[in-house]
Amino acid sequence: MKTGAWNKDDPRAAPRPATVVGKIDKGDRDAYIDSLLGGLTSLRGVTAAAIVDADGFPIRLRHDFDIDEDALGVVVQIVLGSARQAAEKVKQGDTDLVLSENHDGLVLLAPLTKGLVLVVMTDKSAMLGAVRFELKETVPQVNALFEAKD
Amino acid sequence: MHWLAQQLTSLDEVAERFVKAKTGGDRFVPETGDAREAFRRALADLASSVSKRPGVTASFVAHEGLVLATGGNVPDFDALAATAQVCLSAGKAAATGLSLGGLKQMVLVGEDHKLALFLVGQMALGILAPCEVNLAAARGE
């Protein structure tokens, strides 16, 4: 399995202080974020989890298979942009989650703080309820990490 | 206490630890991920172990009408999870209107099969069995 900078099987690389984090250094933040993405990719059928910045560039990525990182950015821009416009048209407020159910899998997008987007890709074996539940629980945690002071 | 009640009690304890781990408000709490994973595993174990009870065809855990964990084999768990959501929502409203107290379980009985639904916090546990199966026995009573 390809991973980002952090190997979830290596406990030395996964700091787990037993306190609420209000202030954090960049290394710890990256490890925590990788741990949260690892929680998503550990679900059945999840093939990739990534955080993409406002310009469509993946800043953290965990994946099982080769993935076209440029395509990931394009997916975010197109799908999330369309969803936001649609929500605006029907006056439903901000977009919290976008699901694209495709022939061979799912793409779920969740806007984060600071213009970032959490992207989860799955194959057909994924259980939507499990992925959606984990995604919804993960979003506030990721936001808290990006909002925490350096 | 019968087998299923014991399982649900254990699950409640795991769920409580998960809820407690989330008390950091808007701040990041490292332990939340572990507690959430434990909760998820407990749900998957429950669905799997329930489906192996005598007479049970399949079981599932659903959240907001979507499948979270499954055990056994049926053609369409998605439909079962969606049905569970619809039934439990109606059941909750009825229980409130009739002052029955918080809804705990419902059973739908068809000519061929029956579906028992249990509320476990924000999750729904469903058990599908042929209608001649005594679910009390399947629950370990």
ipTM of the complex: 0.74
Q: Report which DSSP code applies to B101.
A: -
Q: Do B28 and A133 touch (CB under 8 A)?
A: no
CA distance A32 to chain B (A): 8
Q: Is the pLDDT of residue B91 over 90?
A: yes
Give CA–CA dist A43/A139, Å, rounded.
Answer: 16
A110 backbone dihedrals φ, ψ, rounded to 5°: -130, 115
Q: Do A39 and B36 touch (CB under 8 A)?
A: yes
Give CA–CA dist A96/B82, Å, rounded.
Answer: 21
pLDDT at A148: 77
H-only helix segments in A7-46: 26-41
Smallest CA–CA distance from A141 into chain B, residue: B28
- Out of A36, A129, A145, the one facing B68 most closely (by C-beta) is A129
Q: Do B28 and A145 touch (CB under 8 A)?
A: yes
Q: Do A20 and B40 touch (CB under 8 A)?
A: no
Dump pLDDT digits (tens) for A9-48.
433 333 333 345 566 777 788 888 999 999 999 999 999 9
Q: Do A133 and B81 touch (CB under 8 A)?
A: no
Residue type, A35: S
B132 backbone dihedrals φ, ψ, rounded to 5°: -80, -10
- Out of A17, A133, A143, the one facing B30 most closely (by C-beta) is A17
Give CA–CA dist B59/B29, Å, rounded.
Answer: 32
